[in-house]
Structure 1
Amino acid sequence: MSHEYQVIFATAVFLITYGIIVSEKIHRAVAAFCGAAVVIIAGIVDAEKAVEYVDFNTIGLLIGMMIIVGISRQTGVFEYLAIKAAKQSGGEPVRIMAALGLITAVLSALLDNVTTVLLIVPVTFAIARQLKVNVIPFLIVEILASNIGGTATLIGDPPNIMIGSATKLGFMDFVLNLTPVVVVIYVTTIFILKLIYRKQIIASRESMQKIMSMDENAEIKDQALLKKCITVLVLTVTGFALHQFVHLESSVIALSGAALLLLLTRMDPEHAFHAVEWPVIFFFIGLFVIVGALEEVGVIEAIAHYALQVTGGALLPAGMLILWLSAIASAFVDNIPFVATMIPLIQDMGRLGGIQDLNFLWWSLSLGACLGGNGTIIGASANVVVIGMAEKRGSPISFMGFFKIAFPLMLLSVAISMLYLFMWYVLHTTIAMLITLAFGIVLSLVLGRISKRSGAKDENKTTAGV
């Protein structure tokens, strides 16, 4: 097969696979795995090269965290937190909604947003039944909070895991650069949602009293297991915070934490490994190979050339373009395959444009992809999970019902991100200029002194000669 036909073939496989994923006619893991098989069988990439394109750091991190969370969920600690928050809110629906949103955001930052909503949503239904109010406002808040909270850290959302693994950016890099704007976005979003829903979820005093009589301590099923899980989780998160300093990959930290927890709990590995969402893992593997095929034939590099022409190779316009493109695209298609495509594209833009520091573009991609997932009910995995759970319990959320609330809030969050990124860029550019200027002044003074000393020595030599 000639190179031209390889380009056409690889692009066609990518687009067809993407279309199947969006249509949801076939499970996305099957679609991605079949696409990967096709490009290997067709000879676009050989088997050895295909393995090289798989990011095993991302895979290891996901598996490790899934095992830790899977064991931890057996303790009942997440149900405990939800009921405790509801009681701390005095049983008032709007305050409970905000409290559950906060717990969802924090847990999504420390665990991952899909796991968090799987744990929080069942408790939310129980609380809404006790209050005798519509559960849908609570679910919408939790969907938005999960994606916003997941944006804050390396492990909170799959796009961040992929970006961190590809760029060697650490846990603290994400926390320091993204958490400030995430906090602003979260507070703004919850404030607006409270205004929207405050007259829609009103409960009687009797219903509120039922919430106050719930026993959160009864949800803790195994105190000894809980202590072990909290210990390992704290050690793992600490490891993430320090992994750049101890020179260990984030996947090594996560898998080590999972191994330690398995050792401490003496749990049957076969039972513990059921917590791993293997379809998600194989979806990632297939996706990495398909995008690798695009890299292999030069499609990604060609798009990077075009992007550089559009932005003139300037960092600020490129970052704004990536932010908005990622947000709008991620609202209507799954953000995971989109980010998988964008990562090599940004790397090629840096290489071709001679850009040494690409961090501004990585933060633009992270904010756009993670927050853009809030735009529609199909924008992120957490959204789809919550919608499915709501349908099973007889509380379906329509596409347009979600869209008219979430999409404007998503645009607002991206606008806040744009302002933040602009300030981030100006600040870092100014600091860099000041450092360069200071270095230049110091260098000039040093060279000036050396020159004076050299001139004085020459004068002395001349005087001595006379």
Structure 2
Amino acid sequence: MSVQIALALAVFIAAYVLIATEKIPRVAVALGGAAAMVMIGATDDKSLFFSEDSGIDWNVIFLLLGMMIIVGIMRHTGVFEFVAIWATKKARGRPFRIMVMLVVITAVLSAFLDNVTTVLLIAPVTFLVCERLAVPPIPYLIAEVMASNIGGTATLIGDPPNIIIGSRSGLSFNDFLLNLTPLIAVLVLVFLVVSRIMFRKAFQYDPERAARVMELNPAEAIGDKRLLVKSLSVLVLVLAGFVLDPVLGLSPAIVAMMGAGLLIALTRLENRKVFGDVEWETLLFFAGLFTMVGSLVNLGIIDEIGRALSDLVGDNFFGASIGMLVGSAVVSGVVDNIPYVATMAPITANLVHSGGAAAHPLWWALALGADLGGNATAIGASANVVVVGIAKRNGHDISFWRFTKCGLIVTGITIAVCVPYIWLRYYL
């Protein structure tokens, strides 16, 4: 092993440990790791900015940026609060019905919005409703964040790991819809059954308090109707562009940026409202992460790992898919699934390239394991950390083990359901 390869591996492993332990802000770790890779000569400006194999994946960066701008503008309309209050009234104050409605809404929204954005929008309404019903909000918050992680698995844009997988594999928005959305619909139903048992003590019905919930007026949540019409119109056009990718020949990143540009032009909002909700740290984190992984590609390390795994797998691609599914779930429950998928995507690409059609389900196994595994612990996904923080600020402490006790059950059951799905759909 050369000194350069040893240094690159040391930088990558150290960065991974620091990201997992969260001792230092992850964006600082990623950018510091990227700088270290440049300093040791593992990458250069041409590889960093212009290489499809070892450079920054601009498709991921600009897809995230475009969707962040669109969602950030939509937040000013109050439409998300409107939907949550409307659903609560439809449930007529029945606690379990309310959980069903909030879980389904969260799962659906998370298929098209960032998971963190979704839980940030749903959490305040949850506190309001639970206070009116005098029920503990913690079970509802836990259920919502888990529904967010499950629902985000359904589409290309639902979870950052899916965006990375889509860009690396060439899989389209429609590919994710056809292969993962049917399974996710089943998993949401399974999750509701599990929630009914797991949180049964939280469903105490009080008719008087239910009447107070019915007094809520969802129409009051809409702050700007004209902005709402413009935002929804652009969002529909963007989603149509994703679906019509085979016809239009436009990548999701281009569609998202065109939609963001159109909405900015139509609304003419001040810059603070347009760009204030863009998670610039997340975009910089991705850039640094891609640089570190790309450096390993440049040095041939990823290819060597891919060849070793290919020899280990042989022709047993069903076994490899299940190993990828379970292994990804375990790792993603311990560390953030974004750096894990960024590392595994080029390795998976090598396995699929060498194995052909029989190895293609490895992509879906990677997505399912990484996304659903985020439910396992309180630090398994960014949305989990955000919800725990929101609950604490509102006087409700969700301990690591309380979340994890529920998360391990949900992750185990959802991953178990994925195993027969992969076998029946791709290998039977």
Q: TM-score category by the smaller chain? A: over 0.9
The structure 1 residue matched to 2:63, chosen from 61, 64, 77, is 61
2:144 alignment partner AA: E
Mapped contact 2:352–2:360 kept (Cα < 8 A) = no
| TM-score of the pair, normalised by structure 2 | 0.97
Give the deviation of 1:377 after TM superposition: 0.8
Q: Does 1:321 find its partner at 2:323?
A: yes
Mapped partners of 2:47, 2:357: distance in 1? 27
Tell me the amino acid that sits aligned with residue 59 of structure 1. I
Q: What is residue 296 of structure 1 aligned with on the other side?
A: 298
For 1:93, the equivalent position in structure 2 comes to 95
- Counterpart of 2:82 (choices 77, 80, 90) is 80
| Partner SS state of residue 163, structure 2 | helix
The Cα offsets for residues 194-242 of structure 1, whole Å up to 9 and x where unpaired, read as: 1222333314211111111111100000111110011011111111111
Give the match's secondary structure for 1:362: helix
For 2:295 and 2:200, the matched residues in 1 are separated by: 51
CA contact (8 A) 1:105 1:148 kept: yes
The answer on 1:271 being equivalent to 2:269 is: no
User: Within 5 Å, which residues of 2 pair with 1:225-264?
Assistant: 225-264=227-266
Taking the aligned partners of 1:354 and 1:106, their CA distance within structure 2 comes to 34
Using the alignment, how far apart are the partners of 2:425 and 2:283 within structure 1? Answer: 34
TM-score between both structures, scaled by the size of structure 1: 0.89
Residue 165 (structure 1) aligned to one of 164, 167, 180: 167
Aligned mates of 1:72, 1:324 — CA distance in 2: 37
Structure 2 SS opposite 1:275:
coil
1:401 is aligned to: 402
Give the letter for the 2:100 counterpart: A
Please say if residues 72 and 273 of structure 2, whose CA atoms lie closer than 8 Å, have aligned partners that are also in contact: no
Deviations 1:21-71 (A, max 9, x none): 111111111110110011001111112212231000000000000000000
How far apart are residue 155 of structure 1 and its match? 0.4
Q: What SS does the aligned partner of 1:355 have?
A: helix
In the TM superposition, what is the alpha-carbon distance from 1:348 to its structure 2 partner?
1.8
Name the residue aligned to 2:38. 40
Q: How far apart are the structure 2 equivalents of 1:269 and 1:260?
A: 15
Higher relative contact order (CA 8 A, sep 6+): 2
1:434 aligned residue: none
Cα distance in 1 for residues equivalent to 2:273 and 2:410 = 41
Give, in angstroms, the shift of residue 313 of structure 1: 4.0
Distance of 2:295 and 2:371 partners within structure 1 = 25
Paired letter, 2:44:
D
Gaps of 5+ in 2: none
Q: CA deviation at 1:314?
A: 2.9
Q: Distance in 1 between matches of 2:273 and 2:355?
A: 50
In the alignment, the residues of structure 2 paired with residue 195 and residue 87 of structure 1 have an alpha-carbon distance, to the nearest angstrom, of 23
CA deviation string 1:145-172 (max 9, x = no partner)? 0011000001000011111111221111
Counterpart code for 2:367: S
Residue equivalent to 1:387: 388
Amino acid at match of 2:419: M
Which 10-residue stretch deviates more, 401-410 or 217-226? 401-410
Q: Tell me if the contact between 1:94 and 1:197 (Cα under 8 Å) persists in the aligned partners.
A: no
Answer whether contact 1:134 1:201 (CA < 8 A) is retained.
Answer: no
Hey, what's the Cα distance between the residues in 2 that align with 1:372 and 1:109?
Answer: 17
SS in 2 for 1:99: helix
Task: Specify the alignment match of 1:283 in structure 2.
Answer: 285
Residue 19 in structure 1 maps to residue 40 in structure 2: no
CA contact under 8 A between 2:352 and 2:362: conserved in structure 1? Answer: no
Paired residue secondary structure (1:272): helix
